[in-house]
Amino acid sequence: MTAKLTVVRPGALTTIQDDGRTGHAHLGVPRSGALDAPALHLANRLVGNPENAAALETTLTGCALRPDRQVTAVVGGAPCRVTIDGRPAPWGTPVRVPAGATLDIGPATHGLRSYVAFAGGVLVEPVLGSRSTDLLSGLGPAPLAEGDLLPVGRPTEPRPALPAAPPWPAPPAELILPARLGPRADWFTPEAVRTFLTAAYTVSPHSNRIGLRTEGPSLERELTGELPSEGMVLGAVQVPPDGRPVVFLHDHPTTGGYPVIAVVPEEALAAAAQAVPGTPVRFTSG
């Protein structure tokens, strides 16, 4: 039989995430998936799972779970305190959690999002090929709530040999995002484009899985007319009426009517997942 996890404490926002739903944007379905994909992939490798196996993504305050059978778990991503029945357990390396014990993932000490992978993966029912929670469309499982039961699969591979200190990337002290101008950079004044590429912004506390919002200088538009709704991609930097850039993350809408001044490549977005409010942000010509 497979193990089941009882959610003892769901935390501020804990969701189930894998690599997301690709290939459905033409149907209006966002990609979703782990915001910090490298952290998800490393956590899964450390417990012998395929990289894209479903795991838990916590936000800031962690969560707590109790398995009904012994499971192997690893907590990675944003550093945090980990305990098993109140006793300290290592962060960033696999641990065995006995049946009936409580695995508690504490608040992030740096960064925002921790990832909790279990050998065998979290086996909720997939929707359109993914087990990811999508906060914008509502597809996939709901965010964790107290008392939820989560099935865990059977481990299928032996646990790999581990280095003494896995190379978890540190959350950014400054978020530097390479930005490829276009497709609507010509909707902004030349001065606004210069400001975008040189000014100091900070991460807004209103950021979420849909988009990283920024605070800083407003970007003035050259064209002030309406823009017909058009397709949006992961990493698109949309500029709403307040003139402050928003970087679209994994739960972003598939269409939008505000001009996109630039696009941040996907490989640069993992750091955005761990940038706490107030983190300095710079866009660079990339």
3-state SS string for 35-51:
CCHHHHHHHHHHCCCCC
pLDDT for position 167? 74
- Compute CA distances 7 → 56, 62, 63, 126, whole Å: 11, 12, 8, 20
Which residue segment(s) compose the domain that 60 sits in? Answer: 3-152
Q: pLDDT per residue over 164-174, tens digit each? A: 456 788 889 99
Q: Using an 8 Å Cβ cutoff, are 221 and 192 in contact?
A: yes
* Residue 14 amino acid letter: T
Whether 112 and 14 share a structural domain? yes
Whether 182 and 139 share a structural domain? no
Q: Using an 8 Å Cβ cutoff, are 270 and 35 in contact?
A: yes
Mean pLDDT within 63-67: 98
Mean pLDDT within 137-156: 94
- Long-range contacts formed by 234-237: CB under 8 A, 24+ apart: 234/31, 234/266, 234/269, 235/263, 235/264, 235/265, 235/266, 235/268, 235/269, 236/260, 236/263, 237/179, 237/261, 237/262, 237/263, 237/264, 237/283
pLDDT at 209 over 90: yes
Q: 3-class SS at 81? A: strand
Q: Could you tell me which of 223, 272, 226 has the C-alpha nearest to residue 252?
A: 272
The domain spanning residue 202 has which CATH number? 2.40.100.10
Whether 128 and 182 share a structural domain? no
- 83 lies in a domain? yes
- 140 lies in a domain? yes
Whether 188 and 279 share a structural domain? yes
- 162 lies in a domain? no
- 159 lies in a domain? no
Mean pLDDT within 242-270: 96
* Residue 137 amino acid letter: S
pLDDT for position 192? 98
pLDDT for position 169? 84
pLDDT for position 165? 54
Specify the number of domains making up the chain.
Answer: 2
Higher-scoring residue by pLDDT: 30, 16? 16
Mean pLDDT within 14-25: 94
State the residue for tokens 């003892």.
8
Confidence grade of residue 286 (pLDDT, cut at 50, 70, 90): confident
Q: pLDDT per residue over 216-225, tens digit each? A: 999 999 998 8
pLDDT for position 44? 94
pLDDT for position 260? 98
- 160 lies in a domain? no
Confidence grade of residue 238 (pLDDT, cut at 50, 70, 90): very high
pLDDT for position 252? 94
Confidence grade of residue 159 (pLDDT, cut at 50, 70, 90): low
The Cα 123–Cα 2 span in angstroms is 10
- 189 lies in a domain? yes
- 141 lies in a domain? yes
- 259 lies in a domain? yes
pLDDT at 163 over 70: no
Whether 191 and 94 share a structural domain? no
Whether 121 and 253 share a structural domain? no
Mean confidence (pLDDT) of the chain = 94
Structure letter (DSSP) for residue 90: -
Q: Could you tell me which of 14, 152, 148, 6 has the C-alpha nearest to residue 72?
A: 152
